[in-house]
């Protein structure tokens, strides 16, 4: 089952907001393979850092990462697995130096699958 989700939020400087939330369907496993970011004003991306949470817990390795990785069109490869009925959240935090509130956009791509015993 392909997954290609986008989300956005208007975020004030130094505030944190949810950019994207994806809940894994029951009895499936999510494999995220790519992530990218955009903004109405692309220069705003210089101020944005992002983090990933799984069921509310921070995912090690994906904390306060610069949004300079990937774009909405050209995602950067990442690797994250989320189990059945898990909630994956991407949050964004612009630096205080951003001065203005900007609209930030996040996109993830991957797939959901079910594991079956080989017979």
**pLDDT tens, residue by residue, 85-94:** 999 999 999 9
Percent of the residues in the chain that have a pLDDT greater than 90, as a whole number: 92
Tokens of 103: 């609209």
Q: What does each C-alpha distance from 60 to 10, 57, 103, 106, 114 come to in angstroms?
A: 26, 9, 26, 19, 24
**pLDDT tens, residue by residue, 45-84:** 999 999 999 999 999 999 999 998 889 999 999 999 999 9
Q: Is the pLDDT of residue 112 over 90?
A: yes
Q: Distance (Å, rounded) from C-alpha 99 to C-alpha 117?
A: 54
Tokens of 92: 């964004």
Residue 28 is predicted with a pLDDT of 97
Which pTM was predicted? 0.93
Burial pattern 11-36, b for ≥16 Cβ within 10 A else e, equals beeeeeeebbebebeeebbbebebbb
């Amino acid at each position: 089952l392909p997954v290609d989700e986008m989300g956005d939020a208007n975020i004030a400087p130094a505030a944190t907001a949810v950019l994207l939330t994806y809940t894994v369907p029951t009895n499936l496993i999510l494999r995220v393979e790519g992530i990218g970011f955009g903004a109405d004003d692309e220069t705003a991306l210089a101020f944005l850092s992002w983090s990933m949470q799984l069921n509310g817990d921070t995912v090690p390795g994906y904390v306060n990462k610069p949004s300079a990785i990937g774009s909405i069109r050209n995602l950067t490869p990442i690797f994250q697995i989320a189990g059945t009925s898990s909630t994956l959240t991407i949050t964004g935090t612009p630096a205080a130096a951003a001065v203005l509130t900007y609209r930030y956009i996040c996109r993830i791509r991957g797939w959901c699958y079910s594991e079956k015993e080989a017979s």
